[in-house]
Structure 1
Amino acid sequence: MTNRVWPRNRSKWLIVLLVVQVLFLAAIAGIHYSTLWFGKEIRLQTVPVDPRDLLYGDYVQLNYDINRVPLSLRQETGDKPKSGDRIYVVLQENQSDGIYRAKAVASRKPSLSVGQIMLKGRVEYADDDAIRISYGIERYYVKENTGKELEKQAGNLVVKVKTSAWGSPVIEDITAGSKSEQ
């Protein structure tokens, strides 16, 4: 009798394991897409560099103003953040051009005022003047043979980014010019 029960229980556990794996993968994709569907759109000024990768095709390496944040914007006192530390950057829209700029930096999730949003990043390094931060949106893949064209427009590019309530950013688009020009 035990021989008949074991195969039936084994298949149930196999189905449960398969369902858990599928749900896990769906949750990972859902987090990314929820940012695109429900996130707040912000605009960041950037300068592209290095537009080609032999394995992956054309991409634009992006460097934002908010990648280098002055130490004077830190909300905490004490030691500078170390490489690899999680950090939160509070951004606020500049009303004249619609570009979001850094207003504060914190090692813990900060409280936000009206009109502010938060991006979560990782510290690359901190020197005596500023903190270099990576947000995971510094590389944007483009259609083949279009990376050089974006490079020519360096200094006049605006990146449209969607950001979730928990500070996770996703690039939506790269356009030329500022908000007031479009």
Structure 2
Amino acid sequence: MRLWQKLALLCTLQLLALAAMVADKQWTLQTGTTVVLPTLPVDPRSLFMGDYARLNYAINRLELDGEQALGGDKDFKPHDRVWVAIQPQPDGARALSVHHQRSAIPAGQLALAGEVQYIDTRQARNGATLHTLQVRYGIEQYFVPEGTGRQIEQPQDGEKVSVRVAIDQRGKAGILALLLDGRERYRETLF
């Protein structure tokens, strides 16, 4: 094989890899079940990537013990893959349980895949040890037009920021739109 043929093959493989990544994201957005997640946005600027909203959801912190404890498994380590059962609600989806295996989530509930970032351990007033998982789902950043990141970080007059996401059959989530007070502010597009 000649040098130019090798280069052409290499370029073709790179283009196919990029097309596969775009197609995978679009598959999630087009076929996934849509839910709305209320957010707590922070840090809207990246020197190299422009404005973005770093998003924090209630489902990022999963209580394993105490009054707010979720059902499911209790023994996790950092970097474990987890499956979180999600239930859509009028005011935003909420987590019901967290598991090591997807098969543990009952039929009819959405399964969202995530990764344990760390485990927060603290003492309750009664002396019990409480554990909270910090979980990442891959939907914690959303890039916005330059100069608009602060509007999301610091909503005006009690505005509520939420995100409409699609969760596909593999448990993968993708952001469809960013909402301010329930109205679409930014919508994810292919280009």
- TM category, shorter: 0.7 to 0.9
Match of 1:73 among 58, 70, 73: 70
Q: What letter is aligned with 2:70?
A: L
Deviations 1:121-150 (A, max 9, x none): 110111333111011111111011111111
Instruction: Confirm whether residue 61 of structure 1 aligns to residue 54 of structure 2.
Output: yes
Mark the structure with the bigger radius of gyration: 1
Aligned residues: 168
5 Å matches for 1:16-55?
23-55=16-48
Deviations 1:73-97 (A, max 9, x none): 25235xx311111111110012xx2
Match of 1:137 among 139, 144, 157: 139
- Say whether the 8 Å CA contact 1:90–1:102 is kept in structure 2: yes
Structure 2 stretches lacking a partner, 5+ long = 121-129, 184-191
Partner of 2:151: 149
Identity of aligned residues (%): 35
Match of 2:80 among 85, 88, 111: 85
- Say whether the 8 Å CA contact 2:99–2:105 is kept in structure 1: no
Instruction: Confirm whether residue 102 of structure 1 aligns to residue 95 of structure 2.
Output: yes
Q: What letter is aligned with 2:179?
A: T
- Say whether the 8 Å CA contact 1:59–1:140 is kept in structure 2: yes
Q: What letter is aligned with 1:138?
A: E
Deviations 1:87-113 (A, max 9, x none): 11110012xx24110001001113544
CA distance, structure 2, for counterparts of residue 11 and residue 85 of structure 1: 44
- Say whether the 8 Å CA contact 2:71–2:96 is kept in structure 1: no
Q: What letter is aligned with 2:115?
A: R
Q: TM-score, normalising length from structure 1? A: 0.79
Q: Which secondary structure state, in structure 1, belongs to the residue aligned with residue 21 of structure 2?
A: helix
Partner of 1:169: 173
Q: Which secondary structure state, in structure 2, belongs to the residue aligned with residue 27 of structure 1?
A: helix
After TM superposition, give the deviation of residue 44 of structure 1 in Å: 0.1
Higher share in helix: 1
Structure 1 stretches lacking a partner, 5+ long = 1-7
Q: TM-score, normalising length from structure 2? A: 0.75
Q: What letter is aligned with 2:41?
A: P
Alignment RMSD (CA, Å): 2.7
CA distance, structure 1, for counterparts of residue 80 and residue 171 of structure 2: 15
Q: Which secondary structure state, in structure 2, belongs to the residue aligned with residue 47 of structure 1?
A: coil
